[in-house]
Amino acid sequence: MNNTNQKEISFIVNKATSDTVFRTNLVQESFYWFFHIYFAEAITYPVAEFQKEIIKLVEGDTKNLIFSGFRGCGKSTIISLAYVIWSMIGRKKKKHIVLISHTSRQTKILMRNIRYLLEDNNLLKRDLGPFYEESEEWRTDSLVFKNYKAKIMAVSINESVRGITHGYKRPDLIICDDVETLESTRTAERREKLIEWYNRDITPLGDKGTSIIILGTMMASGALIQTLKGRIKSGELVGIFRKYPIISEGGVILWKEKWPNIESLEQFRKETGIVEQSWQTEYLLNEWVAEDQIITPDMITYYDSLPIGIYPLVAGVIGADLAISHSDSADKTAMVAGYVFREKGKHVLYLLPNPVNKRLNFHEGIEEAKTLAMSMLTKASTRIFVENVGYQASMIEELKKTEGFYNTEGFEVKGRNKRERLAVTVRHVIPGQVRFPKKGTEQLTTQLFGFGRERYNDLVDAFSIVVIKTFERILNSDDPIAVTFIRGNPIVGGGSSYVDWAEIDDASIFRNKRTRRICQFTN
């Protein structure tokens, strides 16, 4: 429709106004014209290009569509109201449409808007009616359309939708409209619960020809929309994701027809009293950064692969925060591992993917630390840092004296609480002295970004230990690491780097604090 010139538009409008048959055929074929003819009163400003793109995408045949749009951008009016009706009366001929929102109050609003439209829009009723309402025994609002043998129903995320059908027909269009809120995405536990609901209840709800449309905002990393975006990007899910912030990353106002310049947008913000948190999350679609947030997403530096053979390897390190309980309410044992390389005169800590985060007893914790260390290039010479308090002190001695991991040592808290310890790491994180793999540390970064809000922070503690101890102890040490590498199998956590740990020249030299650190690389 973007290529339709003004002369063609004028002809279509005039023809549709005077010719009922032409009009009904047109709107059944084109959602664009259905929206413009029957929703003319809702179009208070010229339709923006991003709205035309939404219309074009839902008109198409893509099975999974994810739209993250700023509040007030019209996504719900276009999809949860106009498209719902068109998908039934138009060429798609949907028979069982399910609208899902976060609360029952929201679902009632969605259904009420559809009812009002069908009751008050005389042109729509005359062209495509009649429509009538029916109540269902499971207490969800529904509309049944006799002429189309179709049904629209609305439920909240707390209502069971398993196995619902309309006659023999399973849902063939599912629309999730604002199923996420700031509160429901505040912690990893809540985010995981919503994703599990989507995976177990929503994805299997339909059939082969079912389309799923998700509407909402980008609440947080690990939330539903972010997760589905990642699945589409990785190829795990076939679909299209679109993000529509009120101002693009390039500084372009997305709906210039409504806000022609920054001044008009600022005036709108002042008149409506939009606070900074709402502006960032609901309009710019950014993750909210609290005033007291210590680590923020923009601080993180990521790497593609380890610089094996490019820079000298200085040490392998592990930070361990121990917990000795299998109780569901207990903290978890966490271990964050990495390699220290010397790059152009500076030391850089490369964290490895898939840190340990499990509920383990004392014996299991020791075995996990040993297994992790021996999976690394530095094997028994890996430096293992354990918080030197309570029962954790026993693990230090066990690893060091009994298990032969001589480079195990305690991490002294020195009166610093968890927040203070994490704050110390910032001086190494911001300049990129600590680098994260692009995949495999999502749970760690979630805890870092949500520190103070997330239920668990075990990985944060292990992270603080390994970063602080690495930069205050290892890099000022004269302890040796004389290691030879040969090209061979891929290393654990090394991405596409292929090396094989061959040998430590003399394990006994690790007890000699004066021997200089050496690193050798051979093909």
Determine the average pLDDT of the residues in 182-203. 83
Q: Domain 48-244 carries which CATH code?
A: 3.40.50.300
Q: Can you give the pLDDT at residue 498?
A: 33
What mean pLDDT is reported for the chain? Answer: 81
Q: Can you give the pLDDT at residue 263?
A: 93
Q: For the whole model, what pTM was predicted?
A: 0.66
Strand order across the beta sheet in which 211-216 lies: 132-133, 141-145, 150-156, 96-101, 173-177, 211-216, 64-69, 240-244
The helix-helix angle for 442-449 and 458-472 (nearest 10°) equals: 90
Backbone angles phi, psi at 473, to 5 degrees: -120, -60
Determine the average pLDDT of the residues in 206-230. 86
Top pLDDT among 368 and 162 is at 368
Give the Å distances, CA to CA, from 266 to 260, 272, 275.
Answer: 11, 10, 12
Would you state the torsion angle of the CA atoms of residues 209, 53, 24, 109, taken in this order, to the nearest 10 degrees?
Answer: 80
Q: Can you give the pLDDT at residue 255?
A: 94
Evaluate whether 243 touches 254 at the Cβ level (below 8 Å).
no
At 112, the pLDDT band (50, 70, 90 cuts) reads confident
Q: Can you give the pLDDT at residue 68?
A: 93
Q: What CATH architecture applies to the domain 297-476?
A: 2-Layer Sandwich (3.30)
Q: Can you give the pLDDT at residue 516?
A: 32
Statement: residue 418 has pLDDT above 70:
yes
Rounded (to 5) percent helix, strand, coil in the chain: 40, 20, 40
Q: What CA–CA distance (Å, rounded) separates 134 from 143?
A: 6
User: pLDDT digits over 303-349, tens only?
Assistant: 999 999 999 999 999 999 987 655 544 578 999 999 999 998 899 99
The helix-helix angle for 31-38 and 20-29 (nearest 10°) equals: 130
Where in the sequence of the chain do the CATH 3.40.50.300 domains occur? 48-244
For tokens 């309009």, the residue is 283
Q: Can you give the pLDDT at residue 492?
A: 38
At 415, the pLDDT band (50, 70, 90 cuts) reads confident
Q: Choose among 67, 88, 89, 65: nearest CA to 76.
A: 67
At 291, the pLDDT band (50, 70, 90 cuts) reads low
* CA–centroid distance for 432 within its chain: 23
Q: Choose among 94, 131, 121, 110: nearest CA to 34.
A: 121
DSSP 28-85: HH-HHHHHHHHSGGG--SPPPHHHHHHHHHHHS--SEEEEEE-TTSSHIIIIIIIIHH
User: For 47-51, which contacts have Cβ atoms below 8 Å and span 24 or more sequence positions?
Assistant: 47/257, 48/254, 48/255, 48/256, 48/257, 48/258, 49/2, 50/242, 50/244, 50/254, 50/255, 51/78, 51/255
- Ranking 167-181, 324-338, 412-426 by mean pLDDT, the lowest is 324-338
Statement: residue 53 has pLDDT above 90:
yes
Q: Can you give the pLDDT at residue 144?
A: 78
One-letter identity of residue 496: S
pLDDT above 90: percentage of residues in the chain: 40
For tokens 């030391």, the residue is 347
Q: What CA–CA distance (Å, rounded) separates 352 from 337?
A: 6
- Ranking 83-97, 172-186, 222-236, 321-335 by mean pLDDT, the lowest is 321-335
Q: Can you give the pLDDT at residue 262?
A: 92
Top pLDDT among 223 and 456 is at 223
Q: Can you give the pLDDT at residue 517?
A: 34
Where in the sequence of the chain do the CATH 3.30.420.240 domains occur? 297-476
Determine the average pLDDT of the residues in 48-68. 94
Backbone angles phi, psi at 215, to 5 degrees: -120, 140
Q: Can you give the pLDDT at residue 510?
A: 32
